[in-house]
Amino acid sequence: MSASVETGAPPVVRIDGLTVRYGAFHALRDVTVSLPAGRISGLIGPNGAGKTTLLNAISGFTPIAEGRVHVGDRDITALGVRRRALAGVVRGFQTVRLLERESVWDNVLIGTERFAQPSALSQFFALPAQWRAHRRATAAAAEVLDLLGLRRHAHRRVDELPFASRRLVEVARVLVSSPSVILLDEPAAGLDQEGRQELAAVLTRVHDNHPSTMVVVEHDVDLVKTLCSYVIALDSGAFLCDGTPAKVFGDRQVQLAYFGRAAGVDA
Amino acid sequence: MTSAILRRPRGEAGNATGERKQGPRRLLTRVAVFAVIAAVPPLLFDDYWVFMSAQVLAFAIATLGLDVLYGRTGQMSLAHASFMGVGAYTTYLVSSLGYGLAVQLAAVAVVSLIAALVVAVPTLRLSGLRLALVTLAFGELLAWVVRNTTDLTGGTQGASVDPLIIGQLDSSEPLHAYLIALVPAAIATALAAHLGRTQLGRRMLAVRDTELAAESVGVAVSRTKITAFLISAVYAGVAGWLYAAITGFISPPDFDLFASVYLFVAVVIGGAGTVVGAWLGAAYVVLVPELFTLAGQPNLYPIVGGALLAIVALLVPDGIVGLGRGAWRRARRVRDAQEGAT
Ligand SMILES: Nc1ncnc2c1ncn2[C@@H]1O[C@H](COP(=O)(O)OP(=O)(O)OP(=O)(O)O)[C@@H](O)[C@H]1O
Ligand SMILES: [Mg+2]
């Protein structure tokens, strides 16, 4: 992933006093939390805790009632989805969203939108700027397809692929432009044990090659422990606790909320 | 990662960058196929069918344009024939002032772009049937303007368009008209085919399939929709320009709602989202009604058209092209299975 858009160290993402309401229902209530710069954070919590809502708020997909979102020094609260993406905040979806009738290749290439794009006229009439952009984009896509083991499927239509591969295409579309803030919503859902381990290895490698501030929503405790150096726990729209995996998974409140019991009680 | 997650064997092999091979040989093959097919009408057909073939070329530009808008971007338009009409009437007005090729084309392009903006910008928030209904209103508006400007446009009586003269070629000669139409049709086809390999083309597909994912990577959804409208309108305008030059006579029914519906049906039957499908659609929309007329049953065309659309919509959503591709995939799967068994 050579052609990165952002330069410099990955930013910290600060969420201050964030409240998201759907009608009278609070999906998130006064959440203040930071995603530490340049690390892979795990976002955990039971179903309906507000994990996806938090990613939506950071990426601009949901209107927020109160609070602010900062990426580094920049207040992005007022920016739309597209402006945030161009500023380096890119998310994957819990529900895989692909161009169903198109190839894996095109599904990944669409993610290169953040690279410098020649004008529509240059593209349409295949002017030299288009060829340079094309080479840049295809090189980045080839690299990420290799990383995720999708290369041999590059020209298959995504609607022909098994679910697990489709999930990886969703991840590849996010990774291809090397965003500085990466938000992944249950990227390992639907993968088997081996696949989950491999995905964790790939994400670690991506992160080593191109440092970013990454958040991964994930239910599997072991996977979070392998992948993440930081964990944030939510429950029923409220912030529960954050810190190292050992600290968070050892937390009594987290165990109660997340496993419905405190550790050792069922012995 | 391959071992655990990707159980399906055998993908198509890519080249060094992982991209599908698109070497000079592939391109040459396509150009050769196009050239061979294009050589058939002048060599084998009589004047009348050369004339019909020239119309197929004109309509192919129109269906290619509609395919950019509907097939790729998912924007449903029932005004595409009206956009042809914009091109045709602009041609009529400009040519009756005595201007030739260059001015005609420039005027057609500019007026088409303006017309596209008039339709595309107010309808940005609409899609599907509601968008189609608004575009339909644009078609009615154009028909109304033509009806009420008899002095300028000939009104409901129609208007005779001066033949287009380019060097030795005179568009009132069927063979010449065919040769004149061949060049823009080839260019329109090459550009439409290339569009699929650009980010602009991918943005369109993304807007069609999932606006959320499109936005999430930074695609400007509204701008993409407008661009698709602009491209499709210029294609339609150029098609109308050729249509006026080839037939030498235009009148409002050529560009009415029914004409727009037939174009739409043609793209769907041919196979939305594909260049070959657009060509099949153009052949369908020109030749099928003619065949019914020759058989003495001109009224059957709308009925057969409706029935075909229903069949395609229900059974082969990807059109004739999709039918072919499906057969190809099944054949490959059978071959894979056989190789796997041995
Ligand atoms: N658009 C919406 N309208 C109304 N309620 C919503 C909307 N989106 C989310 N919610 C509600 O907000 C709460 C939090 O949802 P969210 O999707 O953020 O949970 P989650 O932690 O991602 O859960 P899961 O593990 O199931 O994905 C849920 O109760 C959900 O029903
Ligand atoms: Mg969720």
Q: Is the CB of A48 under 6 A from ligand 1?
A: yes
Could you identify the atom of ligand 1 that is nearest to the CA of residue A237?
A: 14
> Is ipTM > 0.85 here?
yes
Stretch 92-131 of chain A: residues touching chain B, C-beta under 8 Å: 92-93, 97-103, 105-106, 109-114, 117, 120, 123-126, 130
Q: How far apart are the first and last CA of chain A?
A: 48
Model pLDDT, residue A3 = 42
Mean pLDDT for A78-91 is 96
CB atoms within 10 A of CB A261: 10
Provide the Cα torsion B2, B5, B8, B11; round to 10°.
-40
Q: Are A51 and A71 in contact (CB under 8 A)?
A: no
Q: Is the CB of A53 under 6 A from ligand 1?
A: yes
> Look-up: residue for tokens 């229902």?
A25
CB-based contact A90 B217, cutoff 8 Å: yes
Q: Is the CB of A20 under 6 A from ligand 1?
A: no
Cα A27 to middle of ligand 1, angstroms: 6
Q: Using the predicted structure, report yes or no on whether residue B154 has a pLDDT greater than 90.
A: no
- Residue ranges of alpha helices (H) inside chain B are 2-5, 24-44, 47-66, 80-96, 101-120, 128-147, 150-153, 174-195, 199-209, 211-216, 221-247, 257-270, 275-294, 300-315, 319-341
Model pLDDT, residue B13 = 38
Q: Is the CB of A44 under 6 A from ligand 1?
A: no
Q: What is the 3-state secondary structure (H, E, C) of A169-219?
A: HHHHHHHCCCCCEEEEECCCCCCCHHHHHHHHHHHHHHHHHCCCEEEEECC
> Look-up: residue for tokens 């009132």?
B172
Q: Which ligand is nearest to the CA of A45?
A: 1
- Percent with pLDDT over 90 in chain B: 44
Q: Phi and psi of B39, rounded to 5°?
A: -80, -15
Q: Using the predicted structure, report yes or no on whether residue A203 has a pLDDT greater than 60.
A: yes
Distance from CA of B9 to the nearest CA of A (A): 9
Q: What does the pLDDT look like over A7-57, one tens digit per residue?
A: 678 999 999 999 999 999 999 999 999 999 999 999 999 999 999 999 999
Q: Using the predicted structure, report yes or no on whether residue B66 has a pLDDT greater than 80.
A: yes
State the pLDDT confidence band at B12, using cuts at 50, 70 and 90.
very low
Q: What does the pLDDT look like over A123-142, one tens digit per residue?
A: 999 999 999 999 999 999 99
CB-based contact B213 A120, cutoff 8 Å: no
pTM to 2 decimals?
Answer: 0.90
Question: What average pLDDT does chain B have?
Answer: 86
Q: What does the pLDDT look like over B222-270, one tens digit per residue?
A: 999 999 999 999 999 999 999 999 999 999 999 988 889 889 988 888 8
Mean pLDDT for A148-176 is 93
- Any chain B CB within 8 A of the CB of A148? yes
- Any chain B CB within 8 A of the CB of A156? yes
Model pLDDT, residue A254 = 85
Q: Is the CB of A27 under 6 A from ligand 1?
A: yes
Model pLDDT, residue A229 = 95
- CA A84 to each of CA A8, A74, A89, B212, B217: distance values in angstroms, whole numbers, following the listed order: 17, 11, 5, 13, 9
Q: Using the predicted structure, report yes or no on whether residue B109 has a pLDDT greater than 70.
A: yes
